[in-house]
Structure 1
Amino acid sequence: MTMEQAEWQVVRKKKSTKNQKVNPKEQTVLKTEIYLCDTVQERKNVIQKLYSTMEDLRLSEFWKTCQECVQRVPPLASEEYDSNRGVVCSLSPDIIQEGVIQSFDCVCYGLGNFSSCIISRHQLAFLLLFLEQFKIPRSQSYVFDPLFSQMEVSVLQQLGLTVLLDNEEGKRVVHKPTVFYMLHCGKALYNNLLWCNWSQEALSNMIIIGNSFKSIEERLLSRILQRDYMYIHQGLQIVEETPFPESCQYNDVFNDTSIHYFPMQKLRTLPADVWLLQEEPQYHECEDLEIIRNQKT
């Protein structure tokens, strides 16, 4: 190259990458990968906190007392003579029907956002310990709360629980022995549950762990209870209620909680015409319903 040619040679600048457009598809993939990574880590953190809460609860005096309390409930504390040991032993929550052992289902309503709320996390930890203690398979435990986030749904599924997709408003018909775990739920939810199972056969197959029915009766005017919550009002005559033990440590979590069951002896004391009640609760005059309605209905 001559000097003249060198003098007139144009030096081209490299293209700046600053203003280069990123492929939208690549950008979407990148964002998705970051989101999935964050979600996986978030799930791990939630599960880790949950298991830590379970262990703290398992070692507490409250859990020990609760086990004794629950085991005094006849449907969960069937007894059988163990000929090998010569003692009466407690059975897992199985009911023998026509020679076939039938395990309990468990339905949980109103758990709340356990990923961010300490009270909800403790309630979920208790539920998992309860299932473990009474040998109820997690796959036979059904959970629903309209407030669940997608991440919380994923966590529950990862734990082996079955997440219900539809808001049943508590209107779930019992076909086998079932424990309903529904702490701090609205009165309408309990009322709907009783209405949907208003028969001797269904009620005798139900256990409800939730708000004390006696406390509901004490706090409501009698005319309001009869008008808006007729099935709770009638149910008070046929229910046996065992309160949870008091605990300063867990007062906010389990306050006003009782175990409810319906002995056949009591169910048979009601007049026949009471069982003819079929009217679905409507709550037209109820000012504070306390539940989230199913918008599809």
Structure 2
Amino acid sequence: MATRNDSPNPNSTEAWTVVSRRRRRSLKQQQPKRSVLPGPETLIAPPSPWIPIDSFVDIERRSKLLQRMESAIRRLECSSFYRRFLLRLRGHLVQHGLARALSSALEIRMVVYGVGSIESYDPSRLQLALAILLRRDLGLAVPYLEVFDPILSATECAVMTAFDCAVVPVDERGRREVRAPTLFYMPHCEAALYDGLLEANWRPSSLNRMVVLGNSFSAYEQFVELGSCSGSASVEAAVKHLLLVRRHVTEVEMEEEEAGAGSQGKQDDEDGIFKAFHDTSWHFFDLDDDKPMDLVKR
């Protein structure tokens, strides 16, 4: 899954620099962090049973963490960021994409990969808080949240269960095969994790039923297209399926732009919200059901 480095936000802006929350990023000509490069932890491996890194639930830690999660949810819900997020969510582009993925189904599954340690890191708590609020405000039936990160502790799993999350007992390596409409929420995961998800569903019928809320696909594409960047070839190899399908993806930035958002953005930065969600977009797929995937070209 999304392996965390020392920073709680492994997909930092080292690969590209965010100029403004209202403008597209400019890309630095330097090697991206190791977190976006393929490594032993991102090689294809079969799913395997998983248990938390520790074996028991600490009742005192659980109580404190429950309070911290409740605080994170309230803080996010009251933020200007979440107001902008809801404006985007309820707008035509996102609603059209969700309706297309849903088709005639009555509910959508929601899978959360790579939030990291909610006990150790504030961005992780905010990212899980967004998943909880999104399930409530999506406007669609979501039976429950499926959550997985290999670094979760038993105490963290117990807290997630208290918020009606189901911790996945198998390490799928991010390669969940889609058999029903599914929203994958993957905040700041490794590039190869996105690519593995696409590869596992490399057929129009599956991709069209997927929605991905996570790292901007266009940002990866821009980085690779610089060409002369040190490390761009490694990134290109790590996201080959993402690049192939990119032209069949509608990407929508996760926040709606608001008048006077500058001061609001500053407040979000101070609250750590920007750090948890920068460079995140909605991604909707639109492929002809009868189009062979070997004909999908950049």
Report the TM range for the smaller structure's normalisation. Answer: 0.5 to 0.7
2:240 aligned partner: 230
**Pairing 1:192–2:202 present:** no
CA contact (8 A) 1:94 1:102 kept: no
- Partner secondary structure for residue 171 of structure 2: coil
Correspondence 1:108-257 to 2 at 5 A: 108-135=112-139, 139-220=143-224, 221=227, 223-245=233-255, 247-248=265-266, 249=268, 250-257=273-280
Q: Is the 8 A contact 2:108 2:142 kept in 1?
A: no
CA shift, 1:60, in A, is 1.5
Identity rate, percent = 28
- The structure whose RCO (Cα within 8 Å, separation 6+) is larger is 2
- 1:54 correspondence with 2:61: no
Equivalenced residue count is 224
Please give the secondary structure, in 1, of the residue aligned with 2:155.
helix
Residues 210 and 270 of structure 1: is their aligned pair in 2 closer, same or farther, counting only changes over 3 Å?
Answer: farther
Structure 2 counterpart of 1:190, one-letter code: Y
1:232-283 alpha-carbon deviations (Å, 9 max, x no partner): 11121111111123834122110111111113xxx13996352699xxxxxx
For 1:226 and 1:179, the matched residues in 2 are separated by: 25
Once the two structures are superposed, the pairs formed by residues 15-94 of structure 1 within 5 Å of their partners are 39-72=58-91, 74=93, 77=95
How far the C-alpha of 1:72 sits from its partner, in A, is 2.9
CA offset at residue 105 of structure 1?
0.3
Q: Which runs of 5+ in 1 are unaligned?
A: 1-34, 80-90, 278-297
Q: Flag the 1:252–1:102 CA change in 2: closer, same or farther, 3 A.
A: same
Unaligned runs of 5+ in 2: 1-54, 258-264
Residue 95 (structure 1) aligns with: 102
Deviation (angstroms), 1:121: 0.5
Q: Identify if the C-alpha distance between structure 1 residues 92 and 199 changes in structure 2 by more than 3 Å, giving closer, same or farther.
A: closer
Distance 1:138 1:102 in 2: 9
CA distance in structure 1 between the partners assigned to 2:100 and 2:137 by the alignment: 10
1:182-236 CA-to-partner distances (Å, cap 9, x unmatched) read: 0110011000000111111111111101110111122234644543321011121
